[in-house]
Amino acid sequence: MAKIIVVTSGKGGVGKTTTSAAIGTGLALRGHKTAILDFDVGLRNLDLVMGCERRVVYDFVNVINGEASLKQALIKDKRTENLFILPASQTRDKEALTVEGVGKILDELANDFDFIVCDSPAGIEKGALMALYFADEAVVVTNPEVSSVRDSDRILGILHSKSQRAEQGREPVREHLLLTRYDPQRVNIGEMLSVADVEDILAIPLLGVIPESEAVLKASNQGQPVILDGQAKAGQAYMDAVARLLGEKVEHRFLEAKKKGFFSRVMGVR
């Protein structure tokens, strides 16, 4: 039976789709058959990040409406074995997502996959609520700034009250904190919240800290999950996060500012 993981946040632009692509790819690289589902109906982006936008024929809503089978709509990733993508519709309304329709798709996927990663839209509109409703685990993505953390706290409240597990009185959704766009130097001068600050506010286990990196934008523009860039700190941090998600104990990296050498300090090199 598949484990359903929702990647969610209260604020837009924090890196949910980048994270969904990275975590889904990382799980597949570790040998787990994985599907990534785009719940952002009307604003489809997962296919761009995954580099499969030209291969989209049918989408999530087509399957819900019975216009295509799940097998027809799923796109097999060309780079990573065991990885499949179900794109969202760009032309339909979010009301097309129903509990019955989404539940049926997830049940069908659960028979054949180890992990289902749900890429949620931002906020608390219907697509976001539908993405988290069936979750077994949640990766709450936030930037180290007050407004982003506050909005993530609201999402945690919704997970506690409006998920299927909450409605049925089952074991709660397992929550993980993923801190993105982290810059230790800006933390040191008070321009950004520290990891400890965010942990104190949200009070959920830290899954990973993704450093600010140009490699993320470069990878997205190339249609390639950044986790495939083993030289980039962001790619390494996502790989560490996937290992922790699978229950491994991996020390957190990239939390401290890099110390300048003697000549760098003397010459004023940044």
pLDDT digits over 127-163, tens only? 899 999 999 999 999 999 999 999 999 999 999 999 9
Are 220 and 227 in contact, with CB atoms under 8 Å apart? no
What's the whole-number mean pLDDT along residues 24-49? 94
Q: Is the pLDDT of residue 268 over 70?
A: no
Other residues' Cβ atoms within 10 Å of the Cβ of residue 55 = 14
The predicted structure's pLDDT at residue 93: 67
* Nearest one of 132, 181, 189, 192 to 161, comparing CA atoms: 132
pLDDT band at 263 (very low <50, low <70, confident <90, very high): low
Which element (helix H / strand E) includes 141?
strand 137-142
Percent of the chain with pLDDT over 70: 94
Are 91 and 81 in contact, with CB atoms under 8 Å apart? no
Q: Is the pLDDT of residue 261 over 80?
A: no
The predicted structure's pLDDT at residue 41: 85
d(CA 82, CA 27): 9
Output the six-digit token pair for 134: 């069936």
pLDDT band at 96 (very low <50, low <70, confident <90, very high): confident
What's the whole-number mean pLDDT along residues 196-212? 96
d(CA 7, CA 21): 10
Q: Please give the mean pLDDT across all residues of the chain.
A: 92
d(CA 163, CA 171): 11
Quote the strand ranges of 143-241, DSSP E: 174-182, 206-211
Q: Is the pLDDT of residue 266 over 80?
A: no
Instruction: Report the predicted TM-score, pTM, of the whole model to 2 decimal places.
Output: 0.92
d(CA 156, CA 88): 24
List, for residues 163-194, the tens digit of each pLDDT value: 999 999 999 999 999 999 999 999 999 999 99
Strand 75-76 versus strand 83-86 pairing type = antiparallel
